[in-house]
Structure 1
């Protein structure tokens, strides 16, 4: 059980203004778009907030029973992601991520983690996640580097699709990975789906976004589903129930007599 609680902590430490588009006839999904300047400009917009508090319900499927968790996720833009989890009104874990790495502990087995982002990458079967991409993943922004020349953009009735024209290559700590990447967006440029297929293994990461909501000067997805397949397999669903922009305290310290652990 302890590795699953720490896995959730790692993933939801780890949990733009709305733009209207002109109504146009559906275009075949196999037809590239001639002018894509507006599209790439919109999807690369940075989220405009100082801090964001998210109340979320977390459901996990791993093959073992884990109760629904109530999570408070607090993000200071570009600085930290803090998370506290409750199960049946009891505190079960807390974690924090900064650009330097991630830390978290869980109370059921009295264990904790302290790691750079290698921990989270191993958990998700990838090797490119850093603090910026983690924050983007939780808030529905592109967490995969998007270079226009590496993708083919098409339009259909549901919105836009981006598909890598060649494998994207990531190198991190001596490990090289290649991914075929596809992304789907709504007609309002909201990210709906990201899929990464590791071309050297059976590993696959898919993230689904839904039920986007306008909040102050940006939009945020109320549903985030993370699907991990391959050498590790699990699903994590974040159902975001409330957003708040007020500041809050984010205490973090590992209680005495806890044991450091790692996911292998």
Structure 2
């Protein structure tokens, strides 16, 4: 059914990767200068690839069972996903710098698109592959410049609030946003809220249960809320993580029909 293709695309936007099973460390508030903070949150994560086993719960107004997902991410190359519901394979998808492809087995349909579909699903205009990968890793996925934000810190961590409307986008599409970001005392991204000042559409992404993994700090849980004409919520719980390479087959069966998401 079409809901599974929509879920496949939406799930690309909430997958956290390469986390560990260790308990989160207790944060310690450390005063930091503005410049040091902005350098810290702009650091690129250090990883090559990761395979993730996850459980995905979705609220869209229509019934969708809890899905078991296998997600494989290669840095800068691809995000591949396979989904199963009640032991039945329901869909597969792949995102690359060139765009997104996906198919679902219930109605034998598939999609091929640039990132406009994903932007439409999230009610934003700025998601490309680079922004997508940063979002997946729990990194700041929108342009953040010190001159555009007020910066405050407390024992709870650090907070950024835009001092003016921030304009950004991709593929010639741009919009103005009011932006708020919250970070833990250890610079982990905890919450991002983007409000389109023209339409009042709102995207909120929350990260929790951050842990150490090799050279990285990454979240174990991610939740995304999309508020516009329709409201959706997706929660992801990662259950197993592996760092080895894996095959990522993707081909649409010959008898499937191309469709559009409206």
**Structure 1-normalised TM-score?**
0.91
| 1:98 aligns to 2:86 (yes or no) | no
Q: Give the Å deviation of 1:262.
A: 1.6
Paired position in structure 1 for 2:61: 63
| Bigger Cα displacement from structure 2, 113-122 vs 132-141 | 132-141
Counterpart of 2:82? 84
- 1:151–1:92: structure 2 CA closer, same or farther, 3 Å change rule? same
Q: 2:254 aligned to 250, 253, 256, which one?
A: 256
- Matches of residues 125-164 of structure 1 in structure 2 within 5 Å? 125-164=123-162
1:211–1:222 Cα contact (<8 Å) kept: yes
Residue ranges of structure 1 left out of the alignment (5+ in a row): 26-32
Deviation at 1:261, TM superposition (A): 1.4
Give, in angstroms, the shift of residue 224 of structure 1. 0.6
TM-score normalised to structure 2 length: 0.91
Contact 2:58 2:234 in 1 (8 A): yes
Residues 82-140 of structure 1: per-residue CA shift (max 9 Å, x gap): 01111111111100000000000111111111000001001110000001111111111
CA distance in 2, matches of 1:134, 1:231: 23
Name the count of aligned residue pairs: 255
Q: Structure 2 stretches of 5 or more lacking a match?
A: 19-23
Residue of structure 2 in register with 1:207 after alignment? 205
Q: 1:44 to 1:173 in 2, by over 3 A?
A: closer
User: Residues 61 and 19 (structure 1 numbering): CA distance in 2 closer, same or farther, change over 3 Å?
Assistant: closer
Q: Which has the higher contact order (CA 8 A, sep 6+)?
A: 2
Report deviation, 1:172: 3.9
8 Å contact from structure 1 (residues 13, 73) kept in 2 = no
1:95 partner SS: strand
Kept in 2, the 8 Å contact 1:160–1:186? The answer is yes
Match of 2:114 in 1: 116
Alpha-carbon RMSD across the aligned residues, in angstroms, is: 2.1
1:107 and 1:84 map into 2 onto residues whose CA distance is 12
| Residue 3 of structure 1, CA deviation | 2.9
How far apart are 1:210 and its partner, in Å? 0.5
- C-alpha distance in 2 between matches for 1:212 and 1:203: 28
**1:115 and 1:241 mapped to 2: Cα distance?**
30
2:207 is the alignment partner of 1:232: no
Shift of 1:170: 2.1
User: Partner residue of 1:223?
Assistant: 221
Shift of 1:24: 5.8
Residue 181 of structure 2 is matched in structure 1 by 183
